[in-house]
Amino acid sequence: MEHMNADEARGSPERWLEGAYDCLLEGGVESVRILPLAKKLNLSRTSFYWFFKDREALLDALLSRWKSKNTGNWVQQTEAYAESVCEAVLNVFDCWFDDSIFDSRHEAAIRSWAQQSPTIANEIADADAKRIRALTGLFERFGYETLTADVRARAMYLTQLGYVSMRIQEDMSVRMMRIAGYVEIFTGHQAENRELRRFFARRGVPEFQCSHVD
């Protein structure tokens, strides 16, 4: 590091956080340690303290990143413009397939961390409640009674949580073929072909893979 200037030698808060994120995903919260992280990033241990008070501050930053991205974006997707409840549900389905909106690996890692920490378990419970409440609001906006909206929201949310917690790996074409069926189960209505095509286009699915909606 003799050729680095001071800023390069210290790194940046984003670099430390990204390294900690990688460690969390690879080895769980116990692997997020300052010295091993410094070695991984080829930075000095002391430079860490330019950006974070201690390890707990770094863990707090990881938690904040998860809350902002996964819960924040989830709520935004429930509030996105839609002509129908089917299209609204398809907007939320984007969370299932786009890590830039909802990071499933980070979600799984935080939920694993919660098994060791009552504090994180409380954060998970709060996030679950916010997400389900947002989904319930989605259904209510389209005329569902409160109890029905709540049940449909829970069915939809817990289905996705099953994919995350079970770390299910499916061929994407197979999962896409189920989309129309999921929409009908969760809403009680069939999605219009144009709504499905817009969803498939966002996901970059070739036309031949969604020919069943013609």
Domain at 26, CATH number: 1.10.10
* One domain for residues 148 and 191: yes
* One domain for residues 178 and 149: yes
Q: The tokens 């419970």 sit on which residue?
A: 125
The rounded distance, in Å, linking the Cα atoms of 195 and 36 is 48
| Contacts made by residues 126-134, CB under 8 angstroms, sequence distance 24+ | 127/67, 127/70, 127/71, 128/157, 130/71, 130/75, 131/71, 131/74, 131/75, 131/157, 132/157, 134/74, 134/75, 134/78, 134/79
pLDDT at 69: 96
* One domain for residues 83 and 35: no
Taking alpha carbons only, the member of 124, 95, 122, 94 closest to residue 109 is 124
pLDDT at 175: 86
Please list the pLDDT of the chain residue by residue as tens digits (214 residues).
444 554 555 679 999 999 999 999 999 999 999 999 999 999 999 999 999 999 999 999 999 999 999 999 999 999 999 999 999 999 999 999 999 999 999 999 999 999 999 999 999 999 999 999 999 999 999 999 999 999 999 999 999 888 887 777 778 888 889 999 999 999 999 999 999 999 999 988 875 455 444 4
Q: Are 83 and 91 in contact (CB under 8 A)?
A: no
* One domain for residues 33 and 83: no
* One domain for residues 32 and 138: no
Contacts of 78 (CB under 8 A, 6+ apart): 88, 91, 92, 134, 135, 137, 138
* One domain for residues 20 and 78: no
The rounded distance, in Å, linking the Cα atoms of 94 and 81 is 14
* One domain for residues 156 and 102: yes
* One domain for residues 38 and 137: no
Taking alpha carbons only, the member of 47, 42, 69 closest to residue 58 is 47
Residue 136 within any structural domain of the chain: yes
Give the domain extent around 87. 67-213
Residue 204 within any structural domain of the chain: yes
* One domain for residues 75 and 127: yes
Residue 181 within any structural domain of the chain: yes
pLDDT at 46: 92
DSSP code string of 75-121: HHHHHS--SSHHHHHHHHHHHHH-TTT--HHHHHHHHHHHTT-HHHH
* One domain for residues 73 and 46: no
pLDDT at 59: 98
* One domain for residues 37 and 128: no
pLDDT at 9: 59
Predicted TM-score of the model (pTM): 0.88
The rounded distance, in Å, linking the Cα atoms of 151 and 144 is 10
Calculate Rg over the CA atoms of the chain: 20
- The domain total for the chain is 2
Residue 94 within any structural domain of the chain: yes
The rounded distance, in Å, linking the Cα atoms of 140 and 165 is 28
